[in-house]
Amino acid sequence: MKVGVFGATGTIGRCVVSEALARGHQVTGWTRDVSRLPPQPAPARWTQADVIDPTDVARVIAGHDVIVNAINTGNSIPESIANAGVLPAAARAVLTAMERHPATRLIVVGGAGSLEVEPGRQLVDLEGFAEGLPAALGVPTDYVKVVLAHREALNLYRLSNRKWTYLSPSAGLITSGERTGRFRTGTNQILVTAAGASDISAEDLAVAIVDEVETPRHIQQRFTVGY
């Protein structure tokens, strides 16, 4: 298949590119920052694209079977908070672009905050959620703006009739882990182990994404993965 990845130079994007290439897919990696493009030639085709410009998105996704939106909002926590609005803006742009490519499928890597801890009650809505963010790791309460922006984007996808899939990772995303290929899948409720952990490695998240690329099971649905 021809697979395109927005945010391909980020942690999750790089894992998706590697996983898709390892399975024999033709991969295009897109990034907004031209300085982060790898040298050519490479196993994947790399190019610059503006994910919040629907015209540019429509141009670059032409001919792709599946596109993956794995963008983040910055290279630091303050930058991520400042740019939180990029997430719903990208959702609008990509959905608009897909109107010109109705056969193309979209897989979005979203956030965990909109997962439910019980039916109808989302993690981000729990009392003290913002205050409970790991300040010891440098995450301020304002980071809740990014969490809410992910939820806003999800709600935009849910209003669309395009072939979208939204994947929420577990709450504890391990950015430098290992590929085991062993994890659980769920739908809207957060997955927690018997020990109370909720995590998944970026490498296994990429496995779940490429599994969905190859065998679509969640068209116009959100799902989650975790150990």
pLDDT, tens digit (0-9, with 9 covering 90-100), for 42-70 = 799 999 999 999 999 999 999 999 999 99
Is residue 33 predicted with pLDDT exceeding 90?
no
> Are 133 and 112 in contact, with CB atoms under 8 Å apart?
no
Provide, rounded to the nearest whole percent, the portion of the chain with pLDDT above 70: 98
Tokens for 24? 């024999």
163-169 vs 199-201, strand pairing mode: unpaired
pTM above 0.85, yes or no: yes
Angle among Cα 39, 179, 63 to the nearest 5 degrees reads 50
Tell me how crowded residue 40 is: count the other CB atoms within 10 A of its CB.
Answer: 9
Structural domain range at position 190: 2-226
169's CB contacts (< 8 A; 6+ apart) are 109, 111, 112, 200, 205, 224, 225, 226
Q: Please tell me whether residue 158 adopts helix, strand or coil conformation.
A: helix
Spatial distance between the Cα atoms of 28 and 47, rounded to a whole number of angstroms: 8
Cα 134 versus chain centre, distance: 21
Torsion of CA 147, 159, 57, 63, to 10 degrees: 120
> Are 206 and 18 in contact, with CB atoms under 8 Å apart?
yes
What is the DSSP-derived secondary structure letter of residue 10? S
Spatial distance between the Cα atoms of 112 and 163, rounded to a whole number of angstroms: 21
pLDDT in tens, 187-207: 999 999 999 889 999 999 999
pLDDT of residue 126: 92
Instruction: Count up the domains in the chain and report the number.
Output: 1
Spatial distance between the Cα atoms of 85 and 213, rounded to a whole number of angstroms: 27
Tokens for 149? 């922006």
CATH number of the domain within which 89 lies:
3.40.50.720
pLDDT of residue 41: 67
Q: Higher-confidence residue: 37 or 113?
A: 113
Spatial distance between the Cα atoms of 14 and 206, rounded to a whole number of angstroms: 9
Task: Compute φ and ψ for 163, nearest 5 degrees.
Answer: -90, 75
